[in-house]
């Protein structure tokens, strides 16, 4: 009876609760602050644009994830995770009391650094704690919770700002961060796996990677409607040269930050491609779908947020189901099935939306979109962990976080160009632009399905052994 129960849900442990709670903090801060930008602009920026408050956080996170993931393999999970929570919480305190925009942006850079440490340690901690089917279920529960936190963040931000002002979106992190740190001290193992013989960290490579990723992230977060200038071209050249130099260095150093040979394994390559494409079509598609809700259907911000609810409800409900399906199907088939549902939902939305479409007609496609994301999400992480040596799980987590960040930026920028090419300002033009974006996203889902089935084939990655016991 107990064994059967363990196959339905991951056995809850302090580490699973800790990882879910800490990840929720990080994911919420990716979007919750955007709700307060008008208030921040009025109070501390003198009416000037305050978008830099969002950009600095994302740039710091995007630049550091791969580096801190590899360092976690060398130095152990516990010290870095504790440091990440502490840095994130203290930076939230600094942001809460910020007297001006420069102070606030500096706090956000530090907060993004702490967030990077927290994010890349989540999967390794779960991988150390669980094995076999229970690990897949734990990763599914973690992924569903993170998705729900991110999608609920705008609503939470609106409530906090209306009640207490913009500083509340940072102040709410303080008690939660202290509680997470205390729980981490209690439940994290004193000793955790580290890469044997890893040697000294590759600091020159770290600097090259941070420069390349930071510049690339900053470039992708530039306002989409502004023309390219000389500094944009210089930033693109800097990013390309820094990343090329980093990749060349990784082939020579004895202890690389990123083991490029891992991408020679088809299942790993397929999982990483799935991560990238998922963020491209999910983030980009949702941004311009919300724009259609507001300008095409003339819904209020609250109504637009509520209409996005079916996506995250379906994703929460199917996240653990996706992990459970791994007991019966090979991972590639589960991921492919998830992308088929995503493609159906996105394609149906592209066909259905008009300036006069009733909101209830969109519910089924939105549910299909969310269900596909929930089913495909957890198996991708499970495949990445399954085909990687245990001492490199932190490196893999950093790669996943980096590709997710890049995918979000690429999706927003590339699909923004599609929207601009086909859309405009009035209701019909906004609808046309959103339809084009959703159609491209559906095509990307088809490509993701095909690449997944080919690269993560049942022959290469069979379904996990259900008989494996949890790690001691």
* pTM of the full structure: 0.74
Per residue in 122-156, pLDDT tens? 878 887 788 767 777 777 777 777 777 776 777 77
Q: Look at residue 209 and give its three-state secondary structure.
A: helix
d(CA 410, CA 273) in angstroms, rounded, equals 13
- Quick one: pLDDT at residue 88? 95
Structural contact between residues 308 and 287, judged by C-beta atoms closer than 8 angstroms = no
Per residue in 29-69, pLDDT tens? 877 877 777 778 778 766 555 667 877 787 788 778 878 87
Q: Which residues lie below 8 Å from residue 130, measured CB to CB, with a gap of 6+?
A: 10, 137, 138, 470, 471
What are the residue ranges of helices labelled H in 423-467? 427-455
Per residue in 16-25, pLDDT tens? 888 888 888 8
| Dihedral, CA of residue 18, residue 178, residue 33 and residue 377, to nearest 10 | 0
pLDDT averaged over every residue in the chain: 80
Structural contact between residues 240 and 248, judged by C-beta atoms closer than 8 angstroms = no
367 has pLDDT over 80: yes
DSSP state of 48: S
Per residue in 376-402, pLDDT tens? 877 787 787 777 777 777 777 778 877
213 has pLDDT over 90: no
Q: Which residues lie below 8 Å from residue 321, measured CB to CB, with a gap of 6+?
A: 140, 374, 375
Residue with tokens 């996170």: 61
d(CA 78, CA 227) in angstroms, rounded, equals 46
- Quick one: pLDDT at residue 342? 92
d(CA 22, CA 26) in angstroms, rounded, equals 7
| pLDDT band of 5, cuts 50, 70, 90 | very low
CA dist list (Å): 242 to 60, 210, 212, 239, 245: 16, 9, 5, 5, 5
Q: Look at residue 166 and give its three-state secondary structure.
A: coil
Structural contact between residues 22 and 115, judged by C-beta atoms closer than 8 angstroms = no
- Ramachandran category for residue 188: left, alpha or beta (phi over 0 → left; psi -120 to 50 → alpha): beta
| pLDDT band of 7, cuts 50, 70, 90 | very low
- Quick one: pLDDT at residue 227? 54
Q: Which domains does the chain have, with CATH numbers?
A: 7-190 (1.20.1250.20), 262-465 (1.20.1250.20)
Per residue in 264-322, pLDDT tens? 888 889 988 988 888 888 776 777 887 788 778 887 766 776 787 788 788 878 877 77
d(CA 453, CA 458) in angstroms, rounded, equals 8
Structural contact between residues 418 and 440, judged by C-beta atoms closer than 8 angstroms = yes
């Amino acid at each position: 009876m107990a064994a059967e129960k363990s196959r339905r849900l991951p056995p809850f442990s302090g580490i699973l609760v800790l990882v879910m709670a800490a990840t929720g903090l990080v994911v919420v801060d990716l979007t919750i602050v955007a709700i307060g930008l008008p208030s921040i602009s009025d109070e501390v920026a003198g009416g000037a644009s305050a978008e830099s408050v969002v950009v600095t956080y994302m740039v710091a996170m995007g630049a550091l994830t791969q580096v801190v993931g590899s360092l976690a393999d060398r130095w152990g999970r516990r010290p870095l995770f504790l440091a990440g929570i502490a840095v994130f919480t203290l930076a939230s305190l600094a942001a809460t009391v910020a007297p001006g925009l420069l102070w606030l942006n500096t706090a956000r850079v530090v907060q993004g650094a702490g967030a990077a440490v927290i994010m890349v340690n989540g999967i390794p901690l779960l991988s150390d704690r669980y094995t076999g089917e229970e690990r897949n279920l734990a990763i599914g529960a973690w992924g569903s919770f993170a998705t729900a936190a991110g999608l609920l963040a705008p609503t939470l931000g609106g409530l906090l700002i209306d009640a207490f002002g913009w500083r509340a979106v940072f102040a709410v992190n303080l008690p939660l961060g202290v509680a997470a740190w205390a729980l981490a001290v209690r439940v994290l193992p004193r000793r955790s796996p580290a890469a044997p013989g890893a040697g000294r960290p590759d600091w020159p490579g770290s600097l090259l990677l941070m420069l390349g990723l930071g510049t690339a992230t900053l470039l992708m977060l530039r306002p989409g409607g502004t023309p390219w200038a000389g500094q944009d071209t210089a930033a693109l050249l800097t990013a390309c040269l820094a990343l090329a130099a980093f990749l060349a260095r990784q082939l020579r150093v004895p202890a690389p930050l990123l083991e490029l040979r891992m991408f020679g394994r088809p299942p790993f390559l397929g999982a990483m491609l799935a991560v990238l494409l998922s963020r491209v079509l999910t983030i980009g598609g949702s941004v311009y779908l919300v724009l259609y809700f507001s300008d095409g259907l003339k819904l209020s911000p609250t109504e637009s947020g509520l209409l996005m609810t079916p996506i995250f409800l379906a994703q929460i409900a199917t996240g653990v189901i996706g992990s459970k399906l791994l007991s019966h199907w090979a991972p590639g088939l589960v991921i492919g099935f998830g992308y088929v549902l995503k493609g159906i939902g996105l394609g149906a939305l592209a066909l259905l939306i008009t300036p006069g479409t009733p909101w209830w007609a969109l519910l089924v496609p939105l549910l299909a979109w969310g269900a596909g994301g929930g089913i495909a999400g957890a198996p991708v992480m499970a495949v990445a962990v399954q085909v990687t040596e245990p001492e490199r799980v932190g490196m893999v987590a950093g790669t996943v976080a980096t590709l997710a960040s890049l995918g979000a930026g690429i999706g927003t920028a590339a699909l923004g160009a599609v929207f601009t090419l086909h859309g405009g300002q009035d209701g019909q033009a906004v609808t046309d632009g959103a339809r084009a974006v959703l159609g491209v996203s559906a095509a990307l889902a088809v490509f993701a399905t095909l690449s997944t089935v080919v690269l993560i084939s049942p022959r290469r990655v069979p379904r996990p052994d259900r008989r494996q016991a949890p790690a001691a």
